[in-house]
A and B are shown apart, each in its own frame.
Chain A
Amino acid sequence: MPTTATVPRSRRSELARAQARTGYLFVLPTAVLYLTFVLAPVVLTCILAFAYYDPMLGSRWVGFDNFARFFSNGRSLQILWNTLRFTFFAVTFNVSIGLILALALNRMMPSWLLYFFRLSFFLPVIIAAAFVSIVWTYFYGDDLGVINYFLRVVGLPGVRWLTDANQAMTSIIIMDVWKNTGFFMIIFIAALQGVPRNILEAAVMDGTPAWRQFFRITLPYISPVVFFCIVYASIGALQVFESIVILTQGGPGDSTRSLSILIVEEGFGSFQIGYAAAISVVMTVLILLITALQQLVSRKWVQQ
């Protein structure tokens, strides 16, 4: 009989049930933790954003008041603008410099050299901003700083890196690029290795100039990765917190204060829980918008 090799029907449904049972069991720990520490808090924050929360006197429903307070207030708008400005420049420089470095390294070289490059560019990525920012505080010092010392040695005036309200944000962006660009470099190196060699070789044979090879072949090929990097970098940059807290504490004035710092100050400093919740909802909506926007754009431009 030819059918004896197949599993009998009852045994098959038994297997399917066992499979489903194991599936639910294996997903259970993650599902419970995710529900408790991600989904439920997100929903609660969205509710809190419409309330005035007081643990003693009880909470009050205030509708859009918290949002109105955020958007009608010059100070919070300035902080929102700081965050957006930081995000724009940090993402642009991190991703583009990461790509340039990857292109420079995407050539034949001894493996120990590649190891050295990966080590030196990736080390800042894996060390907390809280640690490296303390080192940079001393690099950025006005009179005793290392950078200003060398500037003076070559006859240039020192820069008030962190104490000048017009300069401080730039200094933070410089440090952020030093710290994070290696991450994007590593991702781009892997992506560049996937560009089909024979197409590039054919282009070289045809005498296509290098810049044209890049824009016509390489860039379209790695565009999905470029878009991933832009989204990833934006999500991270919009949350910027510790590097600013340690370098400038948000100052001088409010010139470097970010949304994250404002959330902590309002929520845990002055206990304006509802207001802090509204700010974090604004931040989350920004993240969702940027992600959605980039999905839309990438559908149009990215070649799969």
Chain B
Amino acid sequence: MSAVLQTQAAKRWIDWAIIACMVLLAIGMLLPFLWLFSMSFRPVADAYKMPPSFLPPSLDFSNYLAVLNSKVPFVRIYMNSVLIALLVTVGQMVTCTLAAFAFSRLNFRGRDALFFILLVGLMFPAQVTILPIYLGYARVGLLNQPVGLALMYLTSSFGVFLMRQFMLSQPKALEEAALMDGAGYLKIFWRISLPQLRPALSALGIITFTQTWNYYFQAKVLLGKQDQMTLPLAMDVLRGYMGAGNLSVVMAAMSMSILPVVLLFLLAQKFVIEGITMSGIKN
């Protein structure tokens, strides 16, 4: 009896030792962000001071003002990122939910074949679609237009797949009752399915916003000039303009650039994690 208790005590001790190690590791994961944030408040002259301090020395916003006053049109670039991310997010919330409703609730000829073809799309990298899109955009004048980048992501296989997974896990009883009462499918979709899907829509919205905010390869190919750039591209330009000495100013620009994504994640961590695990587990 006492032996059992003893091994149980040992086990609890090991549990806590592992958690302590994980806490240290987790802090290690956060260090680059703390460093970035702290650096953004540091006077430019102190940028390379060693050892680096991980707490901001004081709340001096001059680096932030320096970004806004620099030769790079930062506000304009920020607005491009916001515009593209919002357009794509709203677009996908509409198109993916509609398609997912059809794929999970309605019967029509060719449905399963269509869904399969759509899923195959998950395997095609952006590299294999970008050349024709570039050539096509050059012809119709969508090159160097932020709207052009948004246009190509108004739907996604991943979004349809995710929303369909959520819908399949919802009970059908309410919809069938409404159908019996003579409601049309449009009404059922709008009045019954959508309200149940709010958590799923939040997950899709946040994942899509984050992904679009972070696009680099596609943006680099399609958006050339500084006025049409998005934030990830602008960082590299800023780094060049400011030179190595003005590290603090680049970090201020970075802090502002990652802010929306970090906030979204802090506010809705549960939905993001749920959405991602749902897409990964139930395949």
Contacts and interface: CB of A to CB of B under 8 A. Distances in A.
Interface of A: 15-16, 18-20, 22-24, 26-27, 29-31, 33-34, 37-42, 44-45, 48, 55, 101, 104-105, 107-109, 113, 115-124, 126-132, 134-136, 138-139, 144, 146, 149-150, 153, 178, 182-183, 186-187, 189-191, 194, 224-225, 228-229, 232, 235, 238-239, 241-242, 245-246, 259-260, 263-264, 267-268, 273, 276-277, 280-281, 283-284, 287-288, 291
Given A41-B133, A136-B32, A287-B123, A30 B277 contact: no
A268 B261 contact: no
A280 B127 contact: yes
A134 to B, nearest CB: 6
Contacts of A259: 127
Given A135-B32, A242-B217, A276-B131, A127 B281 contact: no
A247 B276 CA distance: 28
User: Which interface residue of A22, A153, A246 has the most chain B CB atoms within 10 A?
Assistant: A22
Given A113-B19, A144-B48, A187-B277, A30 B99 contact: yes
A42 B129 contact: yes
Contacts, number: 259
Contacts of A135: 32, 35-36, 251, 254
B239 A134 contact: yes
Contacts of A191: 281
A37 B214 contact: no
13 contacts: A18-B184, A20-B108, A20-B109, A30-B99, A45-B128, A115-B269, A120-B27, A121-B26, A122-B273, A123-B29, A135-B36, A284-B128, A288-B123
B33 interface: yes
B233 A127 contact: no
Name A's interface SS: helix
Contact of B95 (A33, A40, A120): A33
A281 B128 contact: yes
Interface string B146-172: 000001111101001000000000000
Size class of the B contact interface (CB-based, 8 Å): 35 or more
A178 B125 contact: no
A280 to B, nearest CB: 4
Interface in B90-104: 94-96, 98-99, 101-103
A25 B42 CA distance: 56
B86 to A, nearest CB: 17
The 10 closest A-B CB pairs, nearest first, are: A128-B214, A130-B232, A23-B108, A41-B129, A190-B277, A20-B108, A120-B26, A44-B132, A26-B102, A23-B106
Contacts of B258: 127-128, 131
Nearest to B29: A120
Contacts of A225: 280-281
Contact of A37 (B29, B51, B101, B133): B133
Name B's interface SS: helix
B22 A41 contact: no
A280 B109 CA distance: 34
B124 A284 contact: yes
Contacts of B181: none
B66 to A, nearest CB: 16
Given A118-B273, A126-B261, A18 B32 contact: no
Given A18-B185, A135-B254, A187-B281, A34 B107 contact: no
B102 A34 contact: no
A235 B129 CA distance: 15
